[in-house]
Amino acid sequence: METIRKFERVLEIVEQNKRQPSRLIPILQEVQTEYRYLPEEVLTFIATSLGISPAKVFGVATFYSLFTLKPKGKYHIRVCNGTACHVKSSMGIYKAIQKKLKLHDGKETTDDMLFTVETVNCLGACGLAPAMVINEEVFGQLTPEKAERIIDGIIEKEAAYELDYHGA
């Protein structure tokens, strides 16, 4: 049932783009907005409905950095490590967040699927260096402490929500 619903929405997106292979990138963008990542079976489905090879769709989906084939946490944290942020010690912020969320050995997403932490190249927010983006919100002029406080804020908010929702 879940799967059928999933494909229905994908099909809608494909139809809205008139099944044009040239619109593959906008299609993938919309699908990702919908599912927050690009599931493999969806990519194959898109390929079939556009009449192009799955290899081509995977090729495009893996080429661009805004596409992801892995599920991301509810809060997708991207720490900018462009040159401007780098000179302002962006890696210190990245490491502080990793440590706080106990992410190590290349692990990017927390087990509870709440956070994904990555570094990215230049967000074009150099005026705010060092900067990070959580989902679409930009946070700038960070220090490791400030970044940790932001994470704490999210954890608290989520805990309160859980309590509201499932609490006694």
Partner 1 sequence: MNLVRNHILISIDSSTIMAGARAVERAFVDELLNRGLQDEVSVLETGSLGLINRGVVLVVYPEGVIYADVTTKDVPEIVEEHILKGRFVERLVVKEMPKQHVIKREKTGLLKEQPRIVLRNSGIINPESIDEYIATGGYEAASKIINEMKPEEVIEEVKRSGLTGRGGAAFSTGMKWDFARRAKGDVKYIICNADEGEPGTFKDRLILEGDPHKLLEGMLIAGYAVGAQYGYIYIRGEYVLSIERLEKAIKDAEALGLLGENIFGSGFSYHVSIKKGAGAYVCGEETALIESLEGKRGHPRSKPPYPVTEGLWGKPTVINNVETLANIPEIMRNGASWFRGYGTEKCPGTKVYTIIGHVATPGLIEAEMGTTLRDIIFEYGGGIKNGKKFKCALVGGAAGAFLGPDMLDVNMDFVSLREYSAVLGSGAILVMDEDTNIVEMLKNVLHFFRHESCGHCVPCRLGTAQLVKIIDRVADSKGKREDIDKLLRISEVMRDTSFCPLGQSLYLPISSTLKYFRDEMLSMI
C-alpha to C-alpha distance for 32 and 21, rounded to whole angstroms: 17
Does the protein bind partner 1 through residue 29 (CB under 8 A)? yes
The amino acid at residue 49 is: S
Least gap, CB of 37 to partner 1 (angstroms): 14
Least gap, CB of 150 to partner 1 (angstroms): 12
Q: CA torsion angle for 55, 16, 134, 153 (degrees, to 10)?
A: -130
Q: State the CB neighbour count (10 A cutoff) for residue 148.
A: 17
Q: What are 69's two structure tokens?
A: 């084939």
C-alpha to C-alpha distance for 26 and 137, rounded to whole angstroms: 22
Does the protein bind partner 1 through residue 35 (CB under 8 A)? no
Q: Which stretch binds partner 1 (CB under 8 A): 35-43, 97-105, 133-141, 160-168?
A: 133-141
- Strand residue runs (E) in the chain: 75-80, 115-120, 132-134, 137-139
How many residues bind to partner 1 according to rule CB under 8 A?
40
Does the protein bind partner 1 through residue 39 (CB under 8 A)? no
H helix or E strand, kind and range, residue 11: helix 2-16
Least gap, CB of 28 to partner 1 (angstroms): 7
Does the protein bind partner 1 through residue 123 (CB under 8 A)? yes
Residues 55-114 close enough to bind partner 1 by CB under 8 A: 56, 59-60, 63-67, 81-84, 86-88
Contact positions vs partner 1 (CB under 8 A): 20-26, 28-29, 56, 59-60, 63-67, 81-84, 86-88, 121-129, 133, 136-141
